[in-house]
Amino acid sequence: MKTSLHEIGRFDDRMSFLYVDRAIIRHTSNAIAIHEFDGVTDVPISSIATLMLGPGTKITHEAIKALADNNCLVIWAGEFGIRFYACGMGGSRHSRNLLRQAALALDERTRLQVVVRMYLRRFADDAIDPEITLQQLRGKEGFRVRQAYADASKATGVPWDGRNYARKDWYAGDPVNRALSAANACLYGLVHAAIISAGYSPAIGFIHTGKQLSFVYDIADLYKVELTIPLAFEMAGRHTQNMEREIRTEARRRFHRAKLLQQILPDIRHCLDVKAEEQDEFADDPALPAGLWEPESFTSETPIGQILGLHHGDDAA
Amino acid sequence: MMVLILHKIRPGVRGRLTRWLIQPQSNVYVGHPSARIREVIWKHICDEIDTRGGSAVLIHTDPSEQGYRIATRGETPKTTRDFDGLILPKAAKAR
């Protein structure tokens, strides 16, 4: 039987992520366990937001079923969890948020409002003059990001020549760019899980557009200056052997300190101007049939010829 | 909050623990001592295990994301596995 959403952990009460590589993940006695060559570890999947599967992992069909049932997002990632390959399904069973997000994105005026709210979210409210233009606001944001790189470089002594990374060869990148990619990957995974858990689409972006993860980039950008940029420079400055692993450990610590998991969903609601969390009427019974759509401007008695724009005589040939 | 689970520890050592902790069931000790007292207790238990054997598991609240920490001493059936800061118990593979 499917688990009721009420009895499993809410997204914002969960631990952020668990990265596993070179192991077999199996469903054993109603739970998930990680089987490694020297032992077995049970995984509290209802208390974890994202399970990141790295190279060398095998997972059984039953395990995926239990993970989906418990609203734990599964992400297939590259070595060190830094590249995103694919993901499973998250928790929400209603489509209300997705439809609202799509409606906002398809209307130019409401989309712009979301874009402006996303930029404003980065600045203290009183710092913004309502007379400012979108172009000036974008300039302000660009300056804020460049300043964050410069400040982090100065604070850590790690030189900064701009963001560049060799997409084909991970080790070709300089340490700070690798650290940035690794830290941002943790952030993307978490933001992605948050978006899916509340039933939004990762693809329908507002500032970003054209990719399946556009909305993930939109939301993750809210946190990079405070969280991942300083983290990446500090870790790159330490020159540790196992940098990517230490970044994940430190990212977990800082995301927790910043209460990131508790913040993502309210921030999304703020940007999309959604007033409050609404009930998921499918939480107890995912198989509950949903209603049928009723159009407002036509009634169910409207002839279909009129709906399709066909008029008597038009198609006579 | 701390929970201490003991295995093969002398009665005298167990008796001292009941000054700070309650024993809701044999081998299990629960209490909420200060961090300093907790460290004193744990050091005492570790010294005992290192010289006379036995084993212990300590779980206590912690301001980390997980909310608690786990420490083990002696030959416990499960060890701990650190997944980038998330500590989960790991059982040796059954043969």
Q: Which of A26, A2, A88, A3 is nearest to A52 (CA)?
A: A88
Give yes or no for a contact between A212 and A203, defined as CB atoms under 8 angstroms apart.
Answer: yes
Q: How many CB atoms within 10 Å of residue A258?
A: 13
Exposure string of A212-240, with b = 16+ CB inside 10 Å and e = fewer, is: ebbbbbbbbbbbbbebbbbbbbbbbbeee
Terminal-to-terminal C-alpha distance of chain B = 36
Q: Give me the percent of chain A exceeding a pLDDT of 70.
A: 86
Percent of chain A with pLDDT over 90: 42
Using CA coordinates, name the residue in chain B closest to A81. Answer: B84
- Please tell me the distance in Å from B61's CA to the nearest CA on chain A: 15
Averaged pLDDT for residues A192-213:
90
Band of residue A171 on the pLDDT scale cut at 50, 70, 90 = low
**pLDDT of A204 higher than 90:** yes
pLDDT digits (tens, 9 = 90+) for A209-228: 998 899 999 999 999 999 99
pLDDT for residue B64: 87
* Residue A253 to residue B92, Cβ atoms within 8 A: no
Average pLDDT (A142-166) is 90
Inter-chain touch B89–A18, beta carbons under 8 Å = no
Q: What is the pLDDT of residues A4-33, one digit of tens each?
A: 555 566 777 788 888 899 999 999 888 899
Gyration radius (Cα) of chain A, Å: 23
Distances (CA, A) of B67 to A48, A191, A256, B1: 13, 21, 10, 11
Closest CA to A189 of A96, A90, A42, A316: A90
From residue B3, alpha-carbon distances to A252, A257, B69 in Å are 25, 25, 10
Other Cβ atoms within 10 Å of A126 Cβ, number:
6
Nearest to A39 among B65, B86, B93 (CB): B93
On whether the CB atoms of residues B90 and B78 are closer than 8 A, the answer is yes
Residue of A nearest to B86 (CA): A18
Strands of A73-77's sheet in order across: A15-20, A48-53, A73-77, A84-87
For residue A33, what is the nearest residue in chain B, using CA coordinates? B90
CA distances for A135 relative to A115, A132, A225, angstroms:
12, 8, 20
0.95 surpassed by pTM: no
Residue (of B24, B67, B61, B21) closest to B40 by Cα position: B21
**B62 interfaces chain A, CB cutoff of 8 Å:** no
| DSSP assignment letter at A14 | S
Structure confidence by residue, pLDDT tens digits, A243-281: 888 998 899 889 988 888 888 988 999 999 987 666 666
Q: What is the band of A78 on the pLDDT scale with cuts at 50, 70, 90?
A: confident
CA distance B63 to chain A (A): 9
**How far is the C-alpha of A38 from the C-alpha of B90, rounded, in Å?**
9
> In whole numbers, what is the pLDDT of chain A averaged over residues?
85
Contact call for residues A243 and A235 (beta carbons, < 8 A): yes
